[in-house]
Structure 1
Amino acid sequence: MATKASENERADAIRWIQAQMADYGLTMEELKAAGCFDPPPPPPPPPPVCYRNAQGMSWDGQGEMPDWLRRAVNAGQSVEFFRIG
């Protein structure tokens, strides 16, 4: 159930939208035609895992190297040792 604060915020948002529609002369039909009510696209699939250790910790190869892999590399292990496939 919504709280009183969120009910008030919701009502404020509705009033703001109504005011914007009035200011710009927008109709519901125009908003529908512009795709405003289309469902959002599905999120992209996660990137495939490229590296995994024996404990099942994984990394997709994007962004900063995770601690578990950095420690292994600093200890002399090759990154390629953990490559999958």
Structure 2
Amino acid sequence: MATNTERAAAIRWIQAQMADYGLTLEALQAAGCFEPPPPPPPPAAPPVCYRNAEGLTWDGQGEMPSWLKRAVNAGQSVEFFRVG
């Protein structure tokens, strides 16, 4: 965090730049300088680690899905469904 002295110096610099370029607060507002930033992008979906022939997927987190449990209980290896 900037100290009060640093903040005051920054304000003076900005005022000097505005005076040098003939800028007004209204001109800066019209140019969109004070628009709120865009919202952050939604978090990326977790990568798919396992997929079956029907396209059902699992990221390997949390409880194993029923389609994979059934395959493992039938004797199939979990690694058979690993992607990549």
* TM-score computed with the length of structure 2 as normaliser: 0.56
Q: Note if 1:81 corresponds to 2:82.
A: yes
Which of the residues 9, 18, 36 maps onto 2:15?
Answer: 18
How many pairs does the alignment contain? 59
Give the fraction of aligned pairs with identical amino acids, expressed as a percent: 58
Shift of the 20–54 alpha-carbon distance from structure 1 to 2, 3 Å rule, reads closer
Structure 2 SS opposite 1:8: helix
Aligned mate of 1:33, from 30, 33, 36: 30
CA RMSD of aligned residues (A): 2.7
1:47 aligns with 2:48: no
How far residue 55 of structure 1 moved from its aligned partner, in angstroms, is: 6.7
| Unmatched 5+ stretches in structure 1 | 57-76
Q: Secondary structure at the match of 1:31?
A: helix
Unaligned runs of 5+ in 2: 49-58, 64-78
TM-score by length of 1: 0.55
Shift of 1:81: 2.5
Amino acid at match of 2:82: F
Cα displacement string for residues 5-64 of structure 1 (whole angstroms, at most 9, x for unaligned residues): 6111111110110010000000111000000111111111111112443579xxxxxxxx
Of the two, which has the highest radius of gyration?
2
